[in-house]
Amino acid sequence: MWQWFFRLGSPKWFYELSGRWLPWLYVAMTVLLSVGVIWALLFVPQDYQQGDTIRIMYVHVPVASISLACFPLMAVAGVITLVWKMKLADMVAMCAAPIGAWFTAVALATGAIWGQPIWGTWWAWDARLTSMLIQFFLLIGVIALRSAIESQDAAARACALLSIVGAINVPIIKYSVEWWNTLHQPASNFAMDNESPFGPEIWVPLVIMIFAVYLFFVISLILSTRNEILVRERRSQWVVDLIAAQKPQGA
């Protein structure tokens, strides 16, 4: 197990392995995203209270779910960076921060679009919304901190520590609607029994969209990490050989 763990930490091995994963991930994401979007837009019935506004849920919930996963991922990568000094872990954490910031921004934007017709306002200093906004600023802080420190090793350590501290905000976001009296609705009960307000025609396309957006996140992270590997390892012989092999003959 440890041998596999340290082998996965090799940038060269990850680059080669992820190159074999990507075509399958592309196909799975395309199929799930197509099915989920068509189902959500054309076949999900209107909600008796929210009407067509419920369709925003099929973007907001998957995106918000991904945004909550970014800081734990960065924190785990940060621990690996601090303890085992793995370059690949730092690359993953570095690439995850801007992607997580974009997902958090989209979650806030779609939440505002949903909140305007339901709450009558685009923004409220609700515990869930405020803690999500804090997460966005923390992610921007990680990006800014890495840019501000010239030493790559020092930047990696500083960002790892901030990522670990920032992960504390995730359970606050998750349980804010239970700990405080907030406008944001609690987690919905999706079940197949008759007691659930949401039947399979509502939650099945939502599950499909969640998987599709997770795959989109994974693909984005892999592509960003592969680019970062090429930048940092550009002087390695295997990268030189890879670039030489991809050049057109006679160039």
CATH number at residue 80: 1.20.120
Number of compact structural domains in the chain: 1
**Contact at 8 Å (CB) between 163 and 110?**
no
Q: What is the pLDDT of residues 6-45, one digit of tens each?
A: 666 789 999 999 999 999 999 999 999 999 999 999 988 8
Question: Residue 69, class by beta-carbon neighbours within 10 Å (0-12 exposed, 13-18 middle, 19+ buried)?
Answer: middle
Q: What is the pLDDT of residues 164-195, one digit of tens each?
A: 999 999 999 988 888 877 767 666 655 545 54
Q: What mean pLDDT do residues 116-123 have?
A: 84
Q: Is residue 50 part of a domain?
A: yes
Q: Is residue 162 part of a domain?
A: yes
Q: Is residue 180 part of a domain?
A: yes
Q: Which residue from 79, 91, 86 is spatially nearest to 161, judged by alpha carbons?
A: 79
Q: Is the pLDDT of residue 60 over 70?
A: yes
CA distance 58 to 164: 30
Q: Is residue 241 part of a domain?
A: no
pLDDT for the residue numbered 54? 85
Q: Is residue 9 part of a domain?
A: no
Q: Is residue 189 part of a domain?
A: yes
Residue the block writes with tokens 């515990």: 127
Q: What is the pLDDT of residues 66-96, one digit of tens each?
A: 999 999 999 999 999 999 889 999 999 999 9
CA distance 108 to 173: 13
pTM of the model: 0.91
Q: Is residue 248 part of a domain?
A: no
Which residues span the domain enclosing 218? 22-224
Mean pLDDT of the chain: 89
Q: Is residue 8 part of a domain?
A: no
State both tokens at 167: 């992960």
Q: What is the pLDDT of residues 126-157, one digit of tens each?
A: 888 999 999 999 999 999 999 999 999 999 99
pLDDT for the residue numbered 121? 86
Among 164-173, 202-211, 235-244, the range scoring the smallest mean pLDDT is: 235-244
Give 47's strand partners: 51
